[in-house]
Chains A and B, each alone.
Chain A
């Protein structure tokens, strides 16, 4: 028992975690005919809290309340894995990335989110504002404009062989490559 727990506390290799993440697709379908997709939860929050008479938010969000239960579960999963499964431990980061980040003063690699960049005090700097506030805005705006995120398009959409999802997934990657390689270095050096 001890050794099982010890094994679970280690990072899970991609060939274990990836297929298990893929099984979320049939799990939700078999539990109640639900299509895997997470960014919709942000829309349901808008529809529930601030519909403001906008047609896009005037729908019966209660029919999609399962999605809010699901994302609440994700939050609790984050808490539980940190408490009991050694969740928030250092990631074995590629050496050249670590070196590059150190040049920008990002030296704390002890948790999943770099605390040097993502903290409340940094919110009031241009860098932190761009990373947290603008970044978050682009995630919310972009996923809804694209009609889904990594889960809805890349995993559920590709699983169902949807061409629009393939196009969207390619665009996610193109956008990410541009930002990470061409723009982010300037933001990190702020």
Chain B
């Protein structure tokens, strides 16, 4: 399939400014985590593939014990190599994969071009990073593990998840007044 059948509004080297004609894209890319502008029209159930990917990822989180509060405490007390091994090897495999996708121009299963987005530094990376670090050590969980922990039957963690959603909302509310 030809690439020009799909009109991606974004390319790998896009900056936030160059896409200003599309305000929706601009708002979403305020933090450049979620800027996937696929123009393909798929039936709703195509999203089930992400559900299955999530199930596999959730099992991995549980079986690698990275959702364990105890493992997080060990990590921050330098009492175990486990977490460093998991995250380090995951990053290494991720790096090689991204390199290979770029090098060999690998496309999606639908023939679409795979795009990468550069992140631009802002002070939030530091302030927000520290704040998240505090929360990570308290709850022993980042956002992904929160979902997995609830799945393992730790139902009280649903309160933590709701509180994390509230924290996200308050950030959105205060955003204009925070240093970036």
Contact = CB atoms under 8 A, between A and B. Distances in A.
Interface of A: 8, 11-12, 14-15, 17-46, 50, 52, 54-60, 63-67, 69-82, 85, 87-88, 91, 93-94, 96-97, 101, 109, 111-115, 117-120, 122-123, 130-165, 167-181, 183-184, 187
A14 B156 CA distance: 27
A30 B109 contact: yes
A78 B132 contact: no
B94 A25 contact: yes
Contacts of A134: 138, 163
A108 to B, nearest CB: 11
A168 B48 CA distance: 31
B95 to A, nearest CB: 5
20 contacts: A17-B86, A23-B93, A25-B98, A28-B53, A32-B36, A33-B113, A46-B172, A54-B169, A71-B144, A72-B54, A91-B70, A97-B73, A112-B69, A132-B159, A133-B159, A136-B166, A138-B138, A140-B163, A147-B124, A151-B144
Interface string B94-127: 1101101100001011101111111111101111
A45 B167 CA distance: 12
Interface in B43-86: 46-77, 79-83, 85-86
Nearest to B49: A31
B119 A71 contact: no
Which of A55, A113, A164 neighbours the largest number of chain B CB atoms within 10 Å of its CB? A113
A183 B133 CA distance: 12
Contacts of A80: 55, 58-59, 151
Contacts of B172: 43, 46, 54, 56-57, 144
Contacts of B77: 94, 97, 180-181
Given A55-B27, A80-B59, A40 B34 contact: yes
A97 B70 contact: yes
A160 to B, nearest CB: 5
Nearest to A133: B163
A184 B138 CA distance: 7
Interface of B: 24, 27-28, 30-38, 46-77, 79-83, 85-95, 97-98, 100-101, 106, 108-110, 112-122, 124-144, 146-157, 159-173, 175, 178
Given A46-B172, A75-B147, A140-B165, A91 B90 contact: no
Contacts of B110: 32
Given A14-B86, A157-B119, A78 B114 contact: no
Contacts of B167: 42, 136-142, 144
A161 B117 CA distance: 11
B33 A35 contact: yes
A159 B94 contact: yes
A144 B167 CA distance: 9
A145 B124 contact: yes
Which of A20, A35, A80, A138 neighbours the largest number of chain B CB atoms within 10 Å of its CB? A138
A18 B64 contact: yes
Contact of A149 (B56, B91, B97, B132): B132
